[in-house]
Structure 1
Amino acid sequence: MIFLENEHLTASFANKGAELQYLKSKKYNIDYLWNGNPTNWGKFSPILFPIVGSLKNNTYYFENKGYKLSRHGFARDYDFEAIMRSNTEVVFTLTHNAETLKVYPFRFVLHLRYTLTELGLSCTYEVTNPADDLLLFSIGAHPAFKVPIQDDVQYTDYFLKFNKDQILAYHKISEDLIANETVEIELKDGKLPLQHELFYEDALVFKSLKSDCISIACDKNPHGLHFKFKDFPFFGIWAAKNADFVCLEPWCGIADGVDHQQNLEEKEGIVSLAPGKTWSRSWEIECF
């Protein structure tokens, strides 16, 4: 484990998957992350790379050859190397290897940079293409936040507050793939009340979210968080069945649609990175 600390917060990370596993406010004595209880879901904040979600038949095709990849890709299962570390910042790195090239025939350098701030934590994904050909990839976040944040309130006392949306249109999931059918939810004052039943049919998947900040808040308790993100075209919200957490997931990429033909170049949301170029995106947690 690797630990970061400043005057306001402490955080911990596992080398496996470069996964954030703990984010605690010293001032409020609150750990804002889900505890990783395997009874419900034994993860904390996995990275999704080089795909987001599921492939049709767990298979994609590139240059007339088929490859198998399981849901959300392989990065979360590999040990990253911490190449830079200070009291308040750490940079983890994963690169291609003989095993990844068997299932994903691209060379890559993936950095995760975590930085403690005065109010919370920022995470930046950096992908570099060291090869002479295009690098095709998707990437996404999957942090799980504890709800209720404190024990004096219940799950259903909390809501998600969207800073720019009043109507949500989400895509349903059919056998792990994105269905064509959408469902609209009309919000009151930008608020989506949390209830376990929201996720009984899997995640809520958005392709046209306007918001770039979603807050977890409660009228009966002063504590919560703001989750900020920018330039992620897709977003997922999910929780395991009846579990006391909610995942806020900005994505550059998305699961295959039910009608997808499985060619990687034609995959919705796929990022195409030129040789020698670096691509980055960031998200941030602000605790209150």
Structure 2
Amino acid sequence: MTQIKLENDFISVKINDKGAELVSLYNKINDTEYLWQADPKYWARNAPILFPIVGKILDNKINIKGQEYEMGQHGFARDLTHHLKSQTDDSVNYLLHDNEITKVKYPYSFELNTAYSLLKNGIQINYKIRNPSEEDLYFSFGNHPAFNWPLNENNPKNSYYLEFEKKETANRIWFEDGFITGEEKPYLKEDKIIKLHDQLFINDVLIFKNLESNSITLKSDLSNEQLKVSYGGYEYMGIWTTPGTPFVCIEPWCGIADNSNNPVDYENKLGVQKLSPGNDFNCHVSYTFN
């Protein structure tokens, strides 16, 4: 596994070629690491890319055109080496494409480009999925970054909250045992704030669809320090941790876990994207601090 470091006077980031995964987001000014450092006691990942599946699959199998394929939770992109396409002092670009390993699990041809660009106070990540074949490409895609909660160890966890860019009215998509149930419950009503506390996640992940906001910011009542997650091109937002765990995940998704009450073929699965031959799908995220 090869790791690349990008840095300026304010920030340094580290990216592994395995999964093209961001593994460090470090503020040089206040000597603070903001990205979760994959302690296996809690969760042994940092910020994996989810492709071509988001969430859990019933029986770890997908059905495509009458044939079953073995597929684990969140897909395979996070566990494969992404090839370095280009690198400059402040950017790096990776490519993952179909091969004999992916074809065993997933019959489609694809190209997944992940481009990191260093900002003065953070990192911008642009994703492009290209369909190089002569048939439609079906896929899901998502981000699963985990951020230290608290950002600053001097502030208690219960001083933190999430602030949406805009007031939101949205149902919570209900989740049980790793799968959606098809049920939605009223949750946000002209709200901008979700106060963070362990009991918030007693019933697993918070999932919302088609939010108005293009950013969510992790803040504390006790300091001005904050971390903003900005995003575009996604349908769902997941907010996840487990009670007693020192991180929180802010996860934009184009896709969602299987419905335990309504199994369907992969191409008809909720959240799966359809990409015509020769076309591209684009989305982006950025993580910035003040």
Q: Return the TM-score normalized by structure 2.
A: 0.95
1:276 Cα deviation from its structure 2 partner = 1.5
Work out whether 1:83 is the aligned partner of 2:85. Answer: yes
1:279 Cα deviation from its structure 2 partner = 1.4
Q: Is the deviation greater in 162-171 or in 97-106?
A: 162-171
Correspondence for 1:285: 287
Correspondence for 1:141: 143
Match of residue 178, structure 1, among 169, 177, 180: 180
Alpha-carbon contact 1:165-1:209 (below 8 Å) kept: no
Q: Return the TM-score normalized by structure 1.
A: 0.95
Q: 1:186 to 1:264 in 2, by over 3 A?
A: closer
**1:83-102 matched pairs, under 5 angstroms:** 83-102=85-104
Correspondence for 1:3: 5
Q: What SS does the corresponding residue of 1:113 show, helix, strand or coil?
A: strand
Q: Is the deviation greater in 162-171 or in 181-190?
A: 181-190
**1:60-209 matched pairs, under 5 angstroms:** 60-186=62-188, 190-209=192-211
Q: What SS does the corresponding residue of 1:43 show, helix, strand or coil?
A: coil
Alpha-carbon contact 2:176-2:204 (below 8 Å) kept: no
1:116-153: CA deviations, max 9, x gaps?
A: 11121111111111111111101000000111111111
Paired AA for residue 202 in structure 1:
D
Paired AA for residue 285 in structure 1:
Y
Identity of aligned residues (%): 33
Work out whether 1:58 is the aligned partner of 2:60. Answer: yes
Q: Is the deviation greater in 110-119 or in 254-263?
A: 254-263
1:52-106: CA deviations, max 9, x gaps?
A: 0112222221111111211100110101111111121111111111121011001
Correspondence for 1:46: 48
Q: 1:188 to 1:277 in 2, by over 3 A?
A: closer
1:2 Cα deviation from its structure 2 partner = 0.8
Work out whether 1:218 is the aligned partner of 2:220. Answer: yes
- Unmatched runs of 5 consecutive residues or more in structure 1: none
1:231 Cα deviation from its structure 2 partner = 2.4
Q: Is the deviation greater in 38-47 or in 115-124?
A: 115-124
Paired AA for residue 248 in structure 1:
I
Across the aligned residues of Structure 1 and Structure 2, the Cα RMSD in angstroms comes to 1.5
Q: What SS does the corresponding residue of 2:50 show, helix, strand or coil?
A: coil
